Structure formats: C-alpha cells, structure tokens
Amino acid sequence: VEASMLKNIYKLSTDQRGDMYKLSTDQRGDMYKLSTDQRGDMYKLSTDQRGDMYKLSTDQRGDMYKLSTDQRGDMYKLSTDQRGDMYKLSTDQRGDMYKLSTDQRGEMYKLSTDQRGDMYKLSTDQRGDMYKLSTDQRGDMYKLSTDQRGDMYKLNGFDLDLTYVTDRVIAMSFPSSGKQALYRNPIREVARFLDTKHEDHYRVYNLCSEKGYDPKFFHYRVERVFIDDHNVPSLEDMLKYTAGVREWMAADPKNIIAIHCKGGKGRTGTLVCTWLIDSDQFESAQDSLDYFGERRTDKSRSSKFQGVETPSQSRYVGYYEVMKTKFNRQLPPEQSLKIKSIRIHSIAGLIEYPSTIITSTIITSTIITSTP
C-alpha cells in the first residue's frame, strides 16, 4: 500500500466502548484516539512505560494535559519548566491552578497569582480554610484571615495579628487586655503563642510610649523603646536598640525578637527595618522598607499598604543606614547650626484665635546626609 494511502486508514478498537483510533501520519508515528464525547476532543496515547493518556489542549499555548487515573478523573497539566512539576486544573468557577506536592503526604498546594508567588495550601477541614506556607526554615504554616486586619497567624487555636518578617523577627500589634483584646492581640494568647513556639528564646520589644503592660506575661523579657505614635526614635535609642538585639541574637541561634507598637506597622516597621540593615540582611534602607511592607501587607485581602507609615519614619531608617555604613554605628560629629528664618504654613486655629501665642522649643540634633 502506498504511503499516501496510510493517511486515511483507521483502526477500530476492541474495547467495550468501541472507541475509534486513528493512525497519525507524522514522523513520530504517534497514535491518536478520537473521543466519543460531544466535544470531540482528541487524545494522544503516550509512548512511555506507564501508558498514560495525554490530551492536546485547544488553546493558543498548545499546553499538554494529562488525564488522571483516579476515580475523580481530575485533569492534570504538565508544566513546561525545568522541574517538570505537575499542575492540576481546578473545577471551580475561578479556574485556579493547583500544584501537586512531591512529599510523602501528597498534599495539594495552590499557586498564588500575586507578585510574590507565594504558595498556598488548601486545608482538608470542614471549613475549607486556606493556609499559606511560610518561607522560613521552620516551615511554619500560616492561615490567611478573612478580615481586613492584614496578616494573621491562625493554627492550633491561635488567631493573632502577627507576621514573621524573618525567621527570627516577629512584627505584631499591641498585646492587649480588656475590651481592646476584642480587636487586638489578647496578651495571654500572645504569651501562649511565644511560649509554645519559642519557649525561653524570645524577647519582646514594646515601642509604645503611651502605654505598657505587666512584663510578667512574657517572663520579664520585655524591653521598652519609648516612641510617640506616628513619630520616630532618637538616633541614640536606635543605636542602643540594635546593640541590644545584636547581643541577644548572638547569644543563641534559637533566640528571636517580637516587636510591636500599637498597630504593628509604623514604629514597628521602623525598628524592624533598622535591624534588617544592622544585621546585613539589607544594605539599602528603601529595600528593607519595601520588604517589610510586602511581608506585613496581605494584598489578597486589602490593597491598603501596611508598612512604615510616615515620611519621617522612612527617613530615619535611611539615617541609620548612613550611621552604619559611614560612621561605624556611631553618631556623627555634632554640628552647630544657625537658624536664619522660620516659615509657618497653615496652622489650624490661628484664624479662629488670632491672639493665640505660639511657643515652641527647637531641639537641634545632628543632621545626617548621604552626600558630603
């Protein structure tokens, strides 16, 4: 029979379904199977030892899909990356893509669509909650909250506004009691969490100048850095703080710090970023600020940025970068400055109360610039 006649030769299968097979005419001699469903999709028999069946997609990318052999008949998609990971197309309305893990537990992971590419794990409980795998060495499991408070840690009974910025640095909101514990972190739960996860290896930094709490909750391992809300620490306090953290971290590789102000964003972010620079995890103040904001903000729940809040706070992180790189963690030499003029813009109350006397105390401090 001439080769050209092979194009039209079909082979009837002998299975119960009576499916029809068509010999391909390409160079590989692959065998195609015409389906009997309404869609008329075309299936391709693989040539590997397992004899898995692949389905050619009809989309523009021409991706190859693999029909699973389980009872559910789920459809898997072979990735085209070097790792050859296998992806599973979900059957929900969102069409999310799931990735089968290669570990012994065979757990199912969901690839997120955000810029960070974080990996999410679908829980198997009745509520169908979604868990987020952390990227730290301990492999802690995080659960995304359904409210607007930002990152949450919820596992084994914990429900806290708390973020692991790094393996050894925790940012959180104020450990509260009474009515405030209804919408902030209950102090007893924070203590229980730290005692459970980091027993005898944590130190808490309270940055609130406006309020404190009984340090006995944290076994008296509480340090204070007094910073007013929406304000900045002094340069001296920043140097004292980093020296204390450096000593604590060097004492034991298991030691961690938990830092908080009121909301766990502005003042907390300022000193977290200061430590990231001091410990050489970041060289640039801006990079550390961006990283903290990314870790503290849950973009899947709210578009509101949850990082360092005020320009002065960001500026002081930059000041610390200069002190570390140019002045060897020392205050630069003092300078005498002469004020030539003061201009005041739009101070509320002056028009309503023109007789108001403005008194101010000008505190001169060292001016640090990144250029000579």
Q: Which residues are tagged catalytic?
A: 261
Q: How far apart are CA 27 and CA 30, in angstroms?
A: 8
Q: Are 10 and 19 in contact (CB under 8 A)?
A: no
**What CA–CA distance (Å, rounded) separates 20 from 189?**
64
Q: Are 78 and 65 in contact (CB under 8 A)?
A: yes
- Burial (CB count within 10 angstroms: exposed 0-12, middle 13-18, buried 19+), residue 72: exposed
How many Å apart are CA 34 and CA 352, to the nearest integer? 85
Q: Which of 106, 97, 103 is nearest to 70 (CA)?
A: 106
Which residue has 């492999």 as its token pair? Answer: 139
Q: What's the sign of the alpha-carbon dihedral 261, 266, 269, 275?
A: negative
- CA 316 – CA 232 distance, rounded (Å): 7
**Token pair 């007789």: residue:** 355
Taking the C-alpha atoms of residue 202 and residue 224, their distance in angstroms, rounded to an integer, is: 15
Task: Output the six-digit token pair for 76.
Answer: 């898997």
Buried b (16+ CB within 10 A) or exposed e, 32-60: ebeeeeeeeeebeeeeeeeeeebbeeeee
| Number of other CB atoms surrounding residue 278 within 10 Å | 21
Buried b (16+ CB within 10 A) or exposed e, 323-338: bbeeeeeeeeeeeeee
Write 157-160 long-range contacts (CB < 8 A, 24+).
Answer: 158/189, 158/192, 158/193, 159/189, 160/185, 160/189, 160/190, 160/193
